[in-house]
Amino acid sequence: MNAKTRPATLAGLILAVAVGSAIAHLCTSALPFQVGSLIDGFGLSATGAGLVGFFQVGALAVSMILFSPIAHRFHPLLVCLCGVLLAACSNGLVYRAPPSLPLLCFLATLIGVGYGLILTAAVAAAAGSPQPDKIYAAGISGSLLIVVIMMSALPIANRSFGARGTFLAIPLLIVACIPLLLGFRAGHAGKTDLEINSTTFLAGMPLLIIWALFSFGTGAMWAFTERVGAALGLPPTRVGLVLSMSPFAGLVGTSLAAFCSGRLNRLTMLAVGLVGGGATCLMFAVAPNLWVFTAAAILYWVSTMFVYVLLLGTAALLDRTGRLGTLGTGCERLAFAVGAPIGGLTVDFGSLRWVGFTATVACALVAPCFLSGLGRILRRSRVDARAAAPAQAAIP
């Protein structure tokens, strides 16, 4: 692309990454509304509705993990459009489906796979760009705003179309976003020279472990933040306001990651983010009043988005084809899904404080232990890249 078209193309790619990430994150962000629709609109029990949600989130994670080895062989736009078609059609089928739990779990699995393909396209397209950290930061910042706008439409749909309205609004929102996803045309397709800097999945294991531990800890705590507010005796409306508005603070985290990238040591930034995420979980666990609870929610989103962007950027440095980033995002979603039931067991056999302590240990104590291994892999990757550069230059 020439100098005149590059800024517009880059803006289109950022917009596509933002919209694609927002659609995919409806898988978890819209889950409370979907659970409500399943209970009120289909007559399912809370356990049944939770099971449908588990199949949806689990399918997103597993599909990304299974698809990661071959994701680089397909153009991001093709992968994204396949995911859009699957997610939109499956949500629409749920809207018209009979109240059969096996059928709803099957459709939820298809929805999750669709979301997984969309998120795979976003990760792979950004990983192949010249500045993946900045693409991820800008894209994820935009996705936070888009998710909030999308979620504001779901209660309106329920009032307008009945208890099942959520499953009608989601496919309409997805289809409306298709023109904005065409920016994925700027993503790379197939095997390119970007693969020279690829690493094996085994070599990237420290990164994946850090990713999974951080997501497990923060996921376990976030799932029970509403219960923390209730235990403090806070009004449900106040708790809901804090938890629904706090994602905006994630913009600070993504902006910090973009600003610090290339200026500060990556491992130091990751260490600060991991410890910060663990500290926010501890703040939730010991919060004595609304002010500490609110501060914990704000800092939670700052630290998690800061770490998320850095992890995606690190994966892109190790593997510019997006395979490692896709696998890491899948592991992150799977760990997040597992964190909720583990947190529930901790509450049942302990207390809400024990959830916070467990999350803090996973994020701030165990995960940083793998930073030294990640540092060795990053140094080796830079050496390999420098060694490959002269060979590439010699090719006519």
Q: What is the pLDDT of residues 344-370, one digit of tens each?
A: 778 778 888 898 899 999 998 888 888
109 pLDDT more than 90: yes
Q: What is the pLDDT of residue 110?
A: 96
What's the whole-number mean pLDDT along residues 19-28?
A: 88
Neighbour count for residue 393 (Cβ, 10 Å): 7
Nearest-angstrom CA–CA distance, 53 and 333: 13
Q: What is the pLDDT of residue 32?
A: 67
pTM above 0.85, yes or no: no
186 pLDDT more than 70: no
Share of the chain above pLDDT 70, in %: 87
- 189: confidence class by pLDDT, cuts 50, 70, 90: very low
Q: Average model confidence (pLDDT) for the chain?
A: 82
Highest mean pLDDT among 28-37, 157-166, 250-259, 286-295: 286-295
269 pLDDT more than 60: yes
Give the range among 22-31, 46-55, 93-102, 282-291 with minimum mean pLDDT.
46-55
**Domains located in the chain, CATH noted:** 1-190 (1.20.1250.20), 191-396 (1.20.1250.20)
Q: What is the pLDDT of residue 315?
A: 84
What's the whole-number mean pLDDT along residues 246-250?
A: 84
What's the whole-number mean pLDDT along residues 83-98?
A: 94
Q: What is the pLDDT of residues 68-90, one digit of tens each?
A: 777 777 888 899 999 999 999 99
Q: What is the pLDDT of residue 202?
A: 66
Comparing 15 with 126, the larger pLDDT belongs to: 15
296 pLDDT more than 70: yes
